[in-house]
Structure 1
């Protein structure tokens, strides 16, 4: 049967007696692994048996054997399958035909709608089948709030977007960050605490490398000549920290631009904002006057896509990132000329 993230969360709290398998798949692998981690943590098993999904192609009974084995220590066992694919369908069919055994949590890749494993899983009451898709910045407040609530964290406006951007949308990274801040704030579900921008700054999440401050300022204020010069001076291998620093600045601008669109001037918005270093205030105020929400969202999408490209084998090199960043700078410069 199909299951959304809420259903998987309830399974993590209490595994239903009639459930045999949780199948997590989709293009967002980090989301699948994050949910799998939550389910496994909720089961609190004493023994975890791990199976390579590819091996099930050659041994369709291996999954049944693992799920019905006797526990050596008498405690709860759980089976985790990584890399399950269509070739493992006979093993899944055998699992459902066998007597009930240990819970099984399986991770698959991006199973398309026509995939036979996916089609089978979505029709079986004994399988919770959940597709995970990449979240966007618009999803950040809801997604981070859901993660933060069990930790006793209530996110101040703008915090979710900063965390999302700093983690490049990776849900496992976001969860680890929230767990870190829960320790910092000494919070739990029974003792909730607010997580504010100052808390992020206190542990360094909003502070970039000093050498990246100037190029990010030039990019966001449309200073093409300075951006060109500074980007050329950066050493190789700085693409990821540069992109992440720019992501944080764009998230900040997106949050502040809401106030500008409500009728306030960029200068008054910046002066009234917290956790902005005084030397950055005139730069951020200038950028706020150049960027509309639509342009900021477009730039954020390009920067996030570029980061994914850098991390992908054969993806963008530093030179390609610099070309993309200069294109963004030129758009800000064009906005400045229209003022």
Structure 2
């Protein structure tokens, strides 16, 4: 970790220690990298380290990247606002890019007090204006988040199991380590599912139980793209699509995963049109909707009509046809379809 007349530049190896004990002189941290789950996790831990109630709207605010892209100056406005309850105010901004660099420059130049700012971003190269700003600002710190290696992945798995009071057999641990790489958020979600699956079982978690519950990471990045598309969350869609590309998913597999998700929404929407309660209709889906995803899925159903879902399914089918039968670049075709559908969700 380097500090001088410039800001705090944290190496990937030092990132975990900085998250647990951030420099008290730092008022703003940029958490960035390709592992969005780890970015989110470390950002939350940094915010919690300041002892502020993150659910208190007078002391904490969360901004989204799509909001700031339209109004970058809002970041400065929130950073300089005074907490109505007195004391420290925390500002969290998710999915940011270089577009907020100028606002943060103003924050650093004015040395604002009683505020702690955490920005979350994707993979920023060394030439990124935002990254360079945080690495050079006296009151700033840049915190990289890269995919876990075998050793750190094992520590994460052990820690989650230990916190839940559970242990796993060695073959089960090896299986988890092999299947849960790439994104810390996905790994945690899968381990939570496993712990729920074995909640009534005694003894160490077995390989059989683990294999029954934990799938391949590729399934989850595809699900994330479909969910973000049908929610209309452009920022998360961009990140999820990048994760798909990073894990080697093809354009056809992305489109087909989205089509399957639209089919499930369509089936639920038809039942709703017939007077069936949405929760009851969802309970009939196979495979069932994971309990942590039920609220999101229900919210998606409320955003769509049956006719509009059929239109969206038609867009996906046409995109797959174009990928297969024309010389058009598949990535451009699939991205256009994804963002066209996501935009339709937001226009409702």
TM-score by length of 1: 0.50
TM-score by length of 2: 0.49
